Every structure is written in C-alpha cells, then in structure tokens.
C-alpha cells in the first residue's frame, strides 16, 4: 500500500463490483487510485482481511478511512457524503 495515496482499493481483475466502484470514483473526478490486486498476491488478501475484517472486494479507503465495498461507496454517494471526502483538505494556517 502506498501511504501517500489518497484512495486505496483492494481489487481483483475480474470483479464487476471493483469496476463499478472505479467508474463511480472516476465520474466524481478521481484520477488516481492505488489499486492493490489481491488476486496476484495472497499476502495482500491476508492484509486486506486483517485491515477490514472483510473477505470480499473491493475494499475502499479514502484518506485512510475505510469506506467499505462497492455498495457502501454507492450508498455514501447517494447520501451526498462522497464528494466532500474527495475535496482537497485545506492546509491549516
């Protein structure tokens, strides 16, 4: 995992929910996602399960906060909570 990445997503190559989540983020202006492919590296899947307590992909983090899976991301967007999370944080004075 890239600690400097704002959005991290655990994924697999053939997951339709991963594709849907990435499409939603792209539609909301996201241009970069640190994608961790758990189908290529079993240790990444173990790390994902330890970090989230979940076995399914995608598992999405925004700014270090665990959002959950695709359905969680869509629900957050529908409640109007996604865009505020994607806005750049103002630097403290």
Inter-residue contact 44 to 12 (CB < 8 Å): no
Inter-residue contact 50 to 59 (CB < 8 Å): no
Average pLDDT score over residue span 1-18: 83
Give the residue extent of every domain in the chain.
7-86
* DSSP 3-state percent helix, strand, coil across the chain (nearest 5): 40, 20, 40
pLDDT in tens, 21-79: 999 999 999 999 999 999 999 999 999 999 999 999 999 999 999 999 999 999 999 99
Evaluate whether the domain defined by 7-86 bears CATH number 3.40.1050.10. Answer: no
């Amino acid at each position: 995992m890239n600690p400097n990445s704002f959005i991290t997503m655990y994924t697999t190559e053939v997951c339709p929910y991963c594709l849907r989540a990435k499409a939603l983020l792209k539609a909301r202006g996201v241009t970069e996602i640190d994608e961790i492919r758990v189908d290529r590296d079993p240790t990444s899947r173990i790390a994902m399960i330890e970090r989230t307590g979940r076995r399914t992909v995608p598992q999405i983090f925004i700014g270090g906060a665990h959002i959950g899976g695709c359905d969680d991301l869509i629900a957050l967007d529908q409640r109007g909570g996604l865009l505020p999370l994607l806005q750049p944080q103002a630097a403290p004075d």
